[in-house]
Amino acid sequence: MRRPVVWLAIAVVLVAGVLVSALAGQLPVTPAEVGGSLLRAAGIPNPWAPSDAVVESTLWVVRFPRIAMAVTVGAALAAAGAVMQAVFGNPLAEPGVVGVSSGAALGAAAAIVLGLAAFGDGLVAALAFCGGLLATLLVYLVSRANGRTEVVTLLLTGIAVNAFAGAGLAFLLFSASSANREQIVFWQLGSLGGSLWREVLVVAVVAVPGVVVAALLGRRYDVLALGERNARHLGVDVERLRIVSVVLVALLTGVAVAFVGIIAFVGLVVPHLVRMLQGPAHRPLIVASAVGGAALMVWADLLARTLVAGAELPIGLLTSLVGGPFFFFLLWRQRRRAGGWA
């Protein structure tokens, strides 16, 4: 499919998701009220702006920050997935699957149990980043051999890292106070509920430059697909690219996980679909994945809070429900046409 068509389609899905998310919920809001409220915030007086303070605060305190969080987190996770796949040279690499997300969750949970959360959101995010970085490095060092990734080792390392981080989380859960316990459970399942503007700001400050840097490295990721030796002969400083990318993945995943918990498979499903639609060239892939990830996350969150009336499903449950079978499909296809991917 032609690239502009694909991009337009992804953008339409995102914008539609944002609009529906602003309208839908326990308190019905009309499209005119949403538009009017936005215009008023931009300093343009208009007759459609809601006169009811409840509507106004529902939009600005509850729905908009939540939508903004979904957009930034989705973009961060999908871009992280695309970068990870580029560095590992394998479409099955994904922060959730190989344990980077759970490493980050462990870091965040440790920050909460140790009472560091009192010192600010930044610190929780920083520990989530450290956990994610450690997990990424571990997986990378173990699963690489002779400049290529062994798929089986990659996935097995992911199992090991997930198991270890899961045990760590369970231990923290066991030793935490009941208030902290609830927060940790929230991390394991993932939720966008109760997102605050200042949290959105922290995520955006990392996600936006992160996606831009990843996109700028796109050409080098293309060359890296030829294997590390060939990339080196083509003038790519492979060592440096590797380090920058690992830090990038840990940053993007860590900051997302720090505020919304583990939301797996976004980084797997989105880049894969984009690759099928417009090809594997990394610069457009990373940009389109970021937008697509935002769209997927907005719609997933909308479903999570409207599917069951009066209750909220954990969003991580929803993404895994779709992502699990998708992952299985990828494995099955890779086996069937052996040699399609190294």
Partner 1 sequence: MIADAVVVQRGGRRVLDGVTLEVRPGEVLALVGPNGAGKSTLLAVLSGELRPDSGSVTLDGRPLADFAPRELARRRAMLTQDNALSFPFRVREVLEMGRSPWIRTPQQEDDGRVLAEAAARADVEHLLDRRFTELSGGERARVSLARVLAQDAGIVLLDEPTAALDLRHQEEVLTVARHLASAGRAVVVVLHDLSLAGAVADRVGLLDGGRLVALGSPREVLTASALSAVYDVDVEVLERDGTLLVVPVRGPSRA
> Exposure string (b/e) for 270-279, b if CB count within 10 Å is 16 or more?
bbbbbbebbe
Contact 79, 94 (CB under 8 A): no
Q: How far is the CB of 54 from partner 1 (least distance, A)?
A: 51
Q: Which residues pair with 145 in a beta bridge?
A: 148
Contact 318, 325 (CB under 8 A): no
Show contacts with partner 1 in window 203-242 (CB under 8 A): 219-220, 222-227, 229-230, 232-237
Q: How far is the CB of 94 from partner 1 (least distance, A)?
A: 15
Q: How far is the CB of 272 from partner 1 (least distance, A)?
A: 11
Binding residues for partner 1, how many (CB under 8 A)?
28
3-state secondary structure of 144: strand
Q: How far is the CB of 227 from partner 1 (least distance, A)?
A: 5
- What mask, x for binding partner 1 by CB under 8 A, covers residues 97 to 136? ----------------------------------------
Show contacts with partner 1 in window 8-67 (CB under 8 A): none
Task: Select 176 or 226, whichever has its Cβ closest to partner 1.
Answer: 226
Q: Which of 74, 89, 99, 314 forms a contact with partner 1 (CB under 8 A)?
A: 89
Q: Which of 43, 45, 310, 339 forms a contact with partner 1 (CB under 8 A)?
A: 339
Q: Which of 148, 181, 242, 283 forms a contact with partner 1 (CB under 8 A)?
A: 148
Q: How far is the CB of 222 from partner 1 (least distance, A)?
A: 6
CA 330 remoteness from chain centre: 20
Closest CA to 260 of 167, 335, 194, 328: 194
Task: Select 172 or 236, whichever has its Cβ closest to partner 1.
Answer: 236
Q: How far is the CB of 282 from partner 1 (least distance, A)?
A: 9
Show contacts with partner 1 in window 267-306 (CB under 8 A): 275, 279-281
Strands 144-145 and 148-149: antiparallel
Distance CA 149, CA 85 (A): 10
Q: How far is the CB of 231 from partner 1 (least distance, A)?
A: 9
Show contacts with partner 1 in window 302-331 (CB under 8 A): none
Q: Which of 37, 58, 72, 90 forms a contact with partner 1 (CB under 8 A)?
A: 90
| 82 near partner 1, judged by CB under 8 A | no
CB proximity list for 99: less than 8 A, separation 6 or greater: 135, 139, 157, 158, 159, 160, 161, 162, 164, 165
Distance CA 243, CA 53 (A): 50
CA atoms within 13 A on the CB side of 9: 11
Show contacts with partner 1 in window 150-209 (CB under 8 A): none
Q: How far is CA 182 from CA 111, 238, 306, in A?
A: 14, 43, 22
Q: How far apart are the first and last CA of the chain?
A: 25
Q: Which amino acid is at 152?
A: V
Q: How far is the CB of 95 from partner 1 (least distance, A)?
A: 18
Note the residues at the interface with partner 1 (CB under 8 A). Answer: 89-91, 148, 219-220, 222-227, 229-230, 232-237, 275, 279-281, 339-342
